[in-house]
Chains A and B, each alone.
Chain A
Amino acid sequence: MNPPDPSDAGDRRWQKLSLAGEAADRFRRPAAAPSLQVPLAAKVRSASDLPVSDSPAVTTAHDATWGQEATSVQEATTAQRVTTAHGPSTAAGQATAADAGDQQIPLPFFWYDPPWQTVLPIDRQRLAETVGRWGVTVNIGSGELGPAASGGDRLPSLPATQSLSVDRPRSVLADVRWPAMVTRRSDRLGWCPSDAAHAQLVELRLGVTVNDSLGGGYSEAQWRMWQGDQRRGDERDERPESATVPLARPGDVSGAVAGAIAGAGARPRPGPFAFPPECERLADLSLATEQLRSLGAAAIYWSCDERDFESVLPHALAAEADGIIVRFGRSPERVLERYRRWQATVPIGQQYPRLWLAGRLLGAEETVKCLMLGASAVSISALCDRWLAPDRPTAAATAVAVGGGQPPAADLIAVEFQRAVEGIRDQISGWMRRLSVESVDGLAAAVAKLGPLD
C-alpha cells in the first residue's frame, strides 16, 4: 500500500513541470492514507466541477493518445494541467453525492460476470468470499450459489404445488460481509428477488454478454446452474456443452433470440433476451428501475455494450439509475470520452449515473487514468476468471489459503492476483496523494474541471 517512490523519473518530471516552492513541500509532506472507497449512489454535479474555459490547459488537454508507452507522460501532463489551473488542492471540487448514509465499496474494482458454471457451488462460494474480502465487488447471487449453499428462494424450475407457507424467503447474500452485485437479466435467469435486499448493487442487464464459444447464448452448464438441475430425468436434454446458440436476429433488441437445435433428438433452449420483454423502448426502463428499488436498498446500475452507451445514457439519467456498467471492446477511451462530454451537459445540482467499466484487464496506469477521467470502478475479471479455469482443480483451495493469510506461493495465479490488485491500489493511492485528493471521486473531479474532450 506504499505510494510510488517520489524519486522515480515520473515524479521528477512531475515536479519539474508543475511544482515549485511551497506547493512542492506540501506534496513531500507525508499525508494520511487516502480512502479508496467509492460510493455507489449517483453523483451530483456541482458548480465546482465546471471547467475553466479560459485555462490554456483546456485547449491542449486532450491531445495525448491512449497507449501504454505514452501513459506516464500523459498522466504527468494531465496532473500538471490540473495543478496549474486550480492549484494542487482540489479536494473541494469532488463530484460525489457526499451522502454519509450512502453505501460504499472498499475498492474501485469489481469481478464482472464470472463463469461460475465451471466450478462447483461450494467453490463458487469460497472464491467469491475470498475475492470479496479483498474489497472487490463480486457479481454473484443466489442463482449462482445454489440452494444447497443458500437455502434461499431461487425460483424453482418446475411447477410446485400452491404454497400457503408464510415462511419468508431468505437470500444467500443475507450473511455475506463483502460487497456483492446481483444481475437481473431480461429473461430473469439466475435472478432471486430477495437478493436485492442484501446485495450492494443490482445490475439491470441490457443486451447479451457474448462469450467466445457460445456467441450470445447460454451454455448447458449455465442452464443447469440457474435451473438448479432440478429437472426430471426425462427432461434432460442431451445437447453437448460446446453446442452453439447463434443469434437469429443480432440487431433485435425487442424480442428473444431463438436457440438452435444442436442435433437430432435434442431439445432446443430458448435464447437470451436482449431487452426486457415487458418494455418496448428504453424510456420504459425507468419503471423497471423503480421496481428494483422497491425490492431493496441496493444501488441500481444499468449495463450495456459500448455501442449502445450513448443512447442508454440519457434514459439512465431520467430513470435516476445510480450508474451504468459499460462493456467496452478494445479500449475504454471512447466510452470515457463520451461520458465526459455528456457529463458536462448535466445541469448543476442534478444527479447523474456513475460509470463502471467492464472489459479486458486494465493495467495499473490505465486504471488510474480511467478513474481520473470519470470512471468510478473498473473490472478485474480477467484476473479473477483464471481461478475458475477448468484445468485448475486446486484453485478454490488456493484462494482460501490466500484469503486466510497463508503464503501465496502455492499458486502463481494467487500471487499474480495479489500483486496486481495491490499494484493498482498503490498507484491510485500514490496519485491521490500527489493531487491531494481524499477520495477516488476526487481524482475525477480534479480532471473534470478541464472540460469535455474535443
Chain B
Amino acid sequence: MAPSSFPASDDSFSLRDLTAAALAKRLASLAEQAVPASAAESRRIRVDLVDAVHCFLPQLNGPLRLKLIGALGDYALAYCRGCDILIEGHVGNALAEGLQGGVVRVRGNAGRAAGLAMTAGTLAIYGSAAARVGAAMRGGELFVRGDVGDDAGVGMQGGMLVIGGNAGRRLGETGGNATIFLRGKAASLADGMVQRRLRKADELRLGMLLINASIRGAAKEFQRVIPAWMAAPEQAQRTGEVRPNW
C-alpha cells in the first residue's frame, strides 16, 4: 500500500491524446471488464495529466489501480469508490468529495475542503492541506502528513481525521462521532473542544492506521481533539480511581 510500491502499469493514457471525458469512458469500460478478485489483481493504469483538469473522473467505480502523474484541478475524483488511486502532484479544492470507498493518495498538497463529505474509504495526503479539510465528513479515514489550514474538520459527523503537522484556527468544529488526532499544535481550537492524550486503545488503533497510510511517526506523538462534554466523563473514569463496584 506504500506509494513507492505501485506496480508496473497494464495500460497507459495521456491527456495529450484524449479528453478527460473520453478517458472516463475508457476507464469505466475497463472497470466493467475487470473481475474484482482482490486489490492486488485489479487493473493498473497510468495516466499522464497535462493541465490541472477540473471535475476529473467523477463517480469512478470499479477495481482499478490508477497512477495519475501531474496536477489536478478542483472537484477531482468526486464520489469514487472501489479504486486505488495515487496522484503524483498537487490537487485543487474538494478533492475526493463524497468518497465512498477505496483509497486515494496524494504525493503533493491539496486545496480547500479535501475529503469533503466523504463517507468511507481512505484519503491520504502526503503534503499539506488548505482550509476546511475533512469538512462535513461522515466516515472513512483522512490522513494529512503535513499542516492543515483553518476550520479543519468543520461540520464533521463521523470518521477520522489525522493531522501529522500543525493546524490552523478553529480546529474541530465537529459533532456526532468524529475523531480528530493532531501531532503538532493548533492555532486555536473550536469552541467547546479540548486536547487530550491518547488512550491505549486509541494508540493501538491509530498506530495501525498510520502504518496502513504510510505515515511515519509513532501514535503516542498524537493527541486527541474532542468535545469538552466528552472529556469530562473520561476524566472521571481514569484508571486508578476507586470505583464503587470494586
A268-B175 CB under 8 A given contacts A163-B81, A256-B154: yes
Tell me, yes or no, whether A22 is within 8 Å of chain B by CB. Answer: no
Contact A273 B138 (CB under 8 A): no
A290-B151 CB under 8 A given contacts A258-B173, A270-B176: no
Residues 215-227 of chain B: 1 if any A CB is under 8 Å from the residue's CB, otherwise 0? Answer: 0000000000001
Contact A155 B63 (CB under 8 A): no
The listed residue with most B CB atoms (<10 A of its CB), out of A168, A194, A267, A294, is A294
A157-B119 CB under 8 A given contacts A163-B82, A187-B155, A258-B190: yes
Residues 114-154 of chain B: 1 if any A CB is under 8 Å from the residue's CB, otherwise 0? Answer: 00110111100000000010011011110000000001001
Contact A291 B78 (CB under 8 A): yes
A248–B229 Cα distance when bound, in Å, is 18
Which residues of A sit under 8 angstroms from B164, Cβ to Cβ?
A: none
A232–B190 Cα distance when bound, in Å, is 27
A-B contacts, CB under 8 A, total: 178
Which residues of A sit under 8 angstroms from B74, Cβ to Cβ?
A: 278, 287, 291
Which residues of A sit under 8 angstroms from B61, Cβ to Cβ?
A: 165-169
Tell me, yes or no, whether B58 is within 8 Å of chain A by CB. Answer: yes
Which residues of A sit under 8 angstroms from B173, Cβ to Cβ?
A: 255-256, 258, 270
Contact A156 B100 (CB under 8 A): yes
Min Cβ gap B186→A in Å is 16
Binding site of B, secondary structure by majority: helix, strand, loop or mixed? loop
How many residues from A make CB contacts under 8 Å with B?
Answer: 51
Contact pick for A255, options B36, B154, B156, CB 8 Å? B154
Contact B112 A278 (CB under 8 A): yes
Min Cβ gap B30→A in Å is 10
Which residues of A sit under 8 angstroms from B154, Cβ to Cβ?
A: 255-256, 270, 277
A261-B229 CB under 8 A given contacts A193-B59, A270-B136: yes
Residues 20-48 of chain B: 1 if any A CB is under 8 Å from the residue's CB, otherwise 0? Answer: 00000000000110101011001000000
A294–B19 Cα distance when bound, in Å, is 14
Tell me, yes or no, whether B181 is within 8 Å of chain A by CB. Answer: no
A186–B113 Cα distance when bound, in Å, is 12
Contact A159 B62 (CB under 8 A): no
B6-14, B91-99, B198-206, B238-246 - the one binding chain A: B91-99
Which residues of B sit under 8 angstroms from A258, Cβ to Cβ?
A: 173, 190-192
How many residues from B make CB contacts under 8 Å with A?
Answer: 62
Q: Which of B99-116 contact A (CB under 8 A)?
A: 100-103, 111-113, 116
A155–B138 Cα distance when bound, in Å, is 9
Contact A162 B62 (CB under 8 A): no
The listed residue with most B CB atoms (<10 A of its CB), out of A165, A188, A269, is A188
Contact B103 A277 (CB under 8 A): no
Tell me, yes or no, whether A238 is within 8 Å of chain B by CB. Answer: no
Contact A193 B132 (CB under 8 A): no
Q: Which of A391-411 contact B (CB under 8 A)?
A: none
Contact B136 A277 (CB under 8 A): yes
Tell me, yes or no, whether B54 is within 8 Å of chain A by CB. Answer: yes
Contact B176 A269 (CB under 8 A): yes
A187–B132 Cα distance when bound, in Å, is 12
Contact A291 B227 (CB under 8 A): no
Contact pick for A267, options B119, B138, B155, B176, CB 8 Å? B176
Min Cβ gap A186→B in Å is 8
Min Cβ gap B76→A in Å is 10
Contact A187 B136 (CB under 8 A): yes
A284–B79 Cα distance when bound, in Å, is 20
Contact A188 B136 (CB under 8 A): yes
Min Cβ gap B127→A in Å is 18
Q: Which of B162-190 contact A (CB under 8 A)?
A: 170, 173-177, 190
Which residues of A sit under 8 angstroms from B176, Cβ to Cβ?
A: 235, 237, 267-270
Residues 267-295 of chain A: 1 if any B CB is under 8 Å from the residue's CB, otherwise 0? Answer: 11111010011111000100110110011
A259-B58 CB under 8 A given contacts A164-B82, A166-B34, A278-B97: no
Contact B59 A162 (CB under 8 A): no
A161–B81 Cα distance when bound, in Å, is 10
Min Cβ gap B115→A in Å is 11
The listed residue with most A CB atoms (<10 A of its CB), out of B136, B140, B170, is B136
Please name the residue on chain B nearest to A261 by beta carbon: B229
Tell me, yes or no, whether B55 is within 8 Å of chain A by CB. Answer: yes
Contact A259 B63 (CB under 8 A): no
Contact B155 A166 (CB under 8 A): no
Which residues of B sit under 8 angstroms from A235, Cβ to Cβ?
A: 176-177
Contact B119 A166 (CB under 8 A): no
Contact A269 B175 (CB under 8 A): yes
Please name the residue on chain A nearest to B113 by beta carbon: A278
Contact A273 B136 (CB under 8 A): yes
Contact B42 A164 (CB under 8 A): yes
A166–B30 Cα distance when bound, in Å, is 10
Q: Which of A371-428 contact B (CB under 8 A)?
A: none
Contact B98 A188 (CB under 8 A): yes
Min Cβ gap B206→A in Å is 15
A85–B154 Cα distance when bound, in Å, is 57
A191–B97 Cα distance when bound, in Å, is 12
Contact pick for B139, options A156, A259, A279, CB 8 Å? A156
Which residues of A sit under 8 angstroms from B159, Cβ to Cβ?
A: 159
Contact B113 A287 (CB under 8 A): no
Tell me, yes or no, whether A100 is within 8 Å of chain B by CB. Answer: no
A193–B80 Cα distance when bound, in Å, is 11
Which residues of A sit under 8 angstroms from B139, Cβ to Cβ?
A: 156-160
A277–B151 Cα distance when bound, in Å, is 10
Contact B175 A188 (CB under 8 A): no
Contact B55 A267 (CB under 8 A): no
Which residues of A sit under 8 angstroms from B227, Cβ to Cβ?
A: 268
Please name the residue on chain B nearest to A232 by beta carbon: B177
Min Cβ gap A379→B in Å is 27
Q: Enumerate the 3 nearest inter-chain pairs by beta-carbon distance, A residue then B residue, closest first.
A: A278-B113, A270-B175, A278-B94
Given contacts A163-B102, A256-B173, 15 further A-B contacts (CB under 8 A): A157-B138, A162-B82, A163-B82, A166-B32, A186-B136, A193-B78, A235-B176, A248-B191, A267-B176, A277-B116, A278-B97, A278-B116, A287-B93, A295-B58, A295-B59
Binding site for B on A (CB under 8 A): 153, 155-169, 186-189, 191, 193-194, 227, 235, 237, 248, 255-256, 258-259, 261, 264, 267-271, 273, 276-280, 284, 287-288, 290-291, 294-295
Task: Pick 12 A–B contacts, CB within 8 A, sort by A.
Answer: A159-B158, A159-B159, A169-B59, A186-B136, A237-B176, A264-B229, A278-B94, A278-B111, A287-B55, A287-B74, A287-B93, A291-B55
